[in-house]
Amino acid sequence: MSAVSNQALQDKMDREMLMPWLKFSWEAHRSTLESLRNNVKLEQIYQNVATKAFQFCLTYNRRTEFRRLCDLMRTHLTTSLGSTHSNAINIMDPDTLQRHLDLRFLQLETASQLEMWQEAFKSVEEVYTLALLGGYLAPPQNGTPLPPAVVQFLNSGDSSHLHPFRKSMDDVSSATVVSTYFSKLTKVFAVGADDVFSASCWNRSYAWSRRLQQLDGEVSS
């Protein structure tokens, strides 16, 4: 009886104290991100708040809030492409692009730990889009369509003079992005039933890891 009473008391405390606090904390993160979005002067703070929001979702196992957070950040990224106001971020700026890649890699890792594989796959798609925009990956061949966000960016008036897909794979930073991309992708395909995709990812992950080690050795020497 004592154990039952203690459990009932704990449940009551969770409902009356913990749940309101969790709701308030989520709303604080959400509204802050809304206020900081698409502003080049605030993008470092945006990254810090988004990182804390991911940690909040992971610490308290807030799967619903994590899904909403991913949707929110996806909307922010999409609306920022081709934005023309004076303080808008430029996704082609190396520092800005790297911040967004870092956030998406963290988003992918968080989704994997929460075992939310649909969100993990969406995160992979976002990393792929950013990698295409930054020139880290070659565009698809044989008539395969580009991701909608890439098409939107290339068709925007302010970006028509830009030429992505030119980044060299002979520097450590570029190779690190691609190596990390395939390494994270192996985790997603590992839970699926398609052994061909999984084997392909492992093969590319290994190849890029070897390439990165080679480049690190050249830099050290």
pLDDT digits (tens, 9 = 90+) for 67-100: 999 999 999 998 888 777 888 998 888 899 999 9
Rounded CA separation 125/123 (Å): 5
- CB burial of residue 98 (10 Å; 0-12, 13-18, 19+): middle
pLDDT tens digits, one per residue of 110-165:
999 999 999 998 999 899 888 888 877 777 666 667 677 666 665 654 444 344 44
CA 109 to chain CA mean position, Å: 9
User: Which ranges constitute the DSSP H helices of the chain?
Assistant: 2-13, 19-36, 43-59, 63-80, 94-113, 117-134, 148-155, 172-190, 195-220
Rounded CA separation 45/77 (Å): 15
Position 169 scores a pLDDT of 53
Q: What pTM value is reported for the model?
A: 0.79
State the average pLDDT over residues 2-19.
62
Contact 157, 82 (CB under 8 A): yes
Contact 70, 107 (CB under 8 A): yes
